[in-house]
Amino acid sequence: MTSPLQQKLRITGPVVVTANRLGDGAVIYRTDGGQWSTRLEQAAVVTTAAAATTLLAGATADDITAVGAYVAPVRQDADGALQPGNLREAIRHAGPTIALPGVI
* Position 101 contacts other proteins (CB under 8 A): yes
Q: Does 86 bind other proteins (CB under 8 A)?
A: yes
> Concatenated DSSP letters for 24-53?
T--EEEE-TTS-EES-GGGS--B-SHHHHH
Give 81 or 87: the residue with its C-beta nearer to other proteins.
87
Binding residues among 43-72 for other proteins as defined by CB under 8 A: 63-64, 67-68
Q: Is 81 in the site for other proteins (CB under 8 A)?
A: no
11 binds other proteins (CB under 8 A): no
Q: By CB under 8 A, name the one of 25, 54, 75, 76 that touches other proteins.
A: 25
DSSP string, 59-101: HHH-TTTEEEEEEEEEEE-TTS-EEESSHHHHHHHH--SS--T
